A and B are shown apart, each in its own frame.
Chain A
Amino acid sequence: MSSSDQIPQENDLPKSQQTPMNIDGNSTTHFGYKTIEKDDKISMVAGVFHSVAKQYDVMNDLMSFGIHRLWKRFTIDASGVRPGNKVLDLAGGTGDLTAKFSQLVGREGKVVLADINSSMLNVGRDKLRDKGLVQNIEYVQANAEYLPFEENTFDIVTIAFGLRNVTDKDKALRSIYSVLKPGGRLLVLEFSKPEHELLNKAYDFYSFNILPKMGEIVAKDGDSYQYLAESIRMHPDQETLKSMMDNAGFEQTSFKNLTGGVVALHKGYKF
């Protein structure tokens, strides 16, 4: 890949997009179990994803035993996507959802793969081009809190396993709401709280004992996968996220637990 073909790094983004504005006066946020300055979260999360980008797909398959493919398929099925739709795959990473959406929206439709992380976006773009998917996909490096699109642009916005890494989730939800067309819908696929206590305990053991070791062996980065486990625990549970979506203006919000609540798909409409 030529250097001109590279997607700009975070530092190339406008300053307003690099550092979220501190509206509520609280200058700290979570990075896994650590409490850090809000201004530091973007670069710390970026560090995690720059490190794991190349092994991201392999690790996803290993960690979830391939079930993440079924969760993503469920999201596509629940989106009600139609030929001609405009779809924003936010925090789209290596483009699993984009690939499928691109095939379903057809020539008249468009899919925008957006991610704040240039490494993930580069890996995603190469993967999709290798699959022959070039016609209706655009790539944008963007922060979910400050989406660089006009209001009422998209029929569908999806964010799969990305919202928990966003510094100010409320702001991101408001930003998504603004770029959705009336009648459009947001689908948030994210790790959540298992419904049963036994499953919760097994999941905890797996996340904190096995997952970081897997990361160490395969991606040579145990810390990033320790962060993954911690960030999942710090992410709002099903009901909290639903009310956050309500507060952002979404209507008819609902969620569906998948695999016993390990993952939940939240859905909300803009009318």
Chain B
Amino acid sequence: MSIFTKLAASKIANELLLPQAVTAALELIINKALAMNINTSVSFSAVAQKTLTLKLAELSFPLSFSVNSSSKPVVVIVSTLAEQSDCSIQTSLYTLKKLKDNQSLTQLIKQDELDVSGDLKVAQQFANIAQSLEIDWQSELANHLGDVPTHKLLQFGNKVTKSFSTKSKQLEADITEYVVHEKRLVVCKSQVKAFNQRTKEIANDVSAISKRVDKLIADYASK
């Protein structure tokens, strides 16, 4: 993305109050997740009053996560204030996914996919908290829907997930098969073009011969 496109995107995002909408939505989701957490061993003391800032390539504004442990229950505040950050991470959503898949942090830093400034321990502590959260979705849903509908809904959900997983695996296998084996055997565009050209030439030749034969027959009949 060029610098001008980035600037224009940032301006439009600001006009639409997108940074504020994103931070409000994230804050709501995170604090809802914290409220539903059933793992009582999660401790926020290590990150109390600490701020982790995430600068994602896909977003034109930073996301700062601060833990306020003085209020009960503990809340996480999400804002675009990045000046007072204890740890700042500059990366992309794609790289974050790689991090989740346990790809080496050092390797990603070396490849310039990740830039960390400040206290890396703060980021690790935030990540540890996020990983240790446990939410009992079934009982949360049951509180709203009732036990039987929740059971049926989850059963249906599991069935759909299983079916989707099987279909996606099949699709992946088919694509692999095509890329590895079939693609080599498939004729390329230029070959199809040459074939069409040759067919056209043959059709023209046949047509010329046909005309000549007709002419010869006509000549023979007139004699």
- A interface list, Cβ under 8 A from B: 67, 69-71, 73-74, 76-77, 80-83, 100, 102-104, 106-107, 131-133, 135-136, 258-259
Q: Is the CB of B70 within 8 A of A77?
A: no
Q: Is the CB of B71 within 8 A of A106?
A: no
Known contacts: A77-B81, A80-B83, A83-B49. The answer to whether A103 contacts B17 by CB under 8 A is no
Q: Is the CB of B83 within 8 A of A82?
A: yes
Q: Is the CB of A106 within 8 A of B68?
A: yes
- B interface list, Cβ under 8 A from A: 17, 19-21, 23-24, 49, 66, 68, 70-73, 75, 77, 79-81, 83-84
Task: Select from chain B the residue with minimum beta-carbon distance to A79.
Answer: B81
- Those 4 A-B pairs whose CB atoms lie nearest each other, nearest first: A73-B20, A103-B68, A70-B20, A70-B17
In whole angstroms, how far apart are the Cα atoms of A81 and B81 in the complex? 8
Q: Is the CB of B20 within 8 A of A132?
A: no
> In the complex, what residues of B have CB within 8 A of residue A136's CB?
70
Minimum distance in angstroms from A82 CB to a CB of chain B: 5
In whole angstroms, how far apart are the Cα atoms of A231 and B187 in the complex? 75
In whole angstroms, how far apart are the Cα atoms of A80 and B84 in the complex? 9
Q: Is the CB of B83 within 8 A of A103?
A: no
Q: Which of these, A69, A104, A133, contacts B79 with CB under 8 Å?
A: A104
In whole angstroms, how far apart are the Cα atoms of A82 and B24 in the complex? 19
Q: Is the CB of A132 within 8 A of B73?
A: yes
In whole angstroms, how far apart are the Cα atoms of A133 and B72 in the complex? 8
Known contacts: A80-B81, A83-B49. The answer to whether A67 contacts B72 by CB under 8 A is no
6 contacts between A and B (CB under 8 A): A70-B17, A73-B20, A76-B81, A131-B71, A132-B71, A132-B73
In whole angstroms, how far apart are the Cα atoms of A81 and B84 in the complex? 9
> In the complex, what residues of A have CB within 8 A of residue B80's CB?
77
Q: Is the CB of B68 within 8 A of A67?
A: no
Q: Is the CB of A67 within 8 A of B70?
A: no
Q: Is the CB of B77 within 8 A of A104?
A: yes
Known contacts: A74-B17, A133-B71. The answer to whether A103 contacts B24 by CB under 8 A is no
Task: Select from chain A the residue with minimum beta-carbon distance to B74.
Answer: A132
In whole angstroms, how far apart are the Cα atoms of A100 and B81 in the complex? 13
In whole angstroms, how far apart are the Cα atoms of A135 and B77 in the complex? 17
> In the complex, what residues of B have CB within 8 A of residue A100's CB?
77
In whole angstroms, how far apart are the Cα atoms of A139 and B30 in the complex? 29
In whole angstroms, how far apart are the Cα atoms of A69 and B81 in the complex? 17
In whole angstroms, how far apart are the Cα atoms of A102 and B73 in the complex? 14
Known contacts: A70-B17, A131-B71, A136-B70. The answer to whether A106 contacts B79 by CB under 8 A is no
Q: Which of these, B21, B23, B73, B75, contacts A103 with CB under 8 Å?
A: B75
Minimum distance in angstroms from A111 CB to a CB of chain B: 12
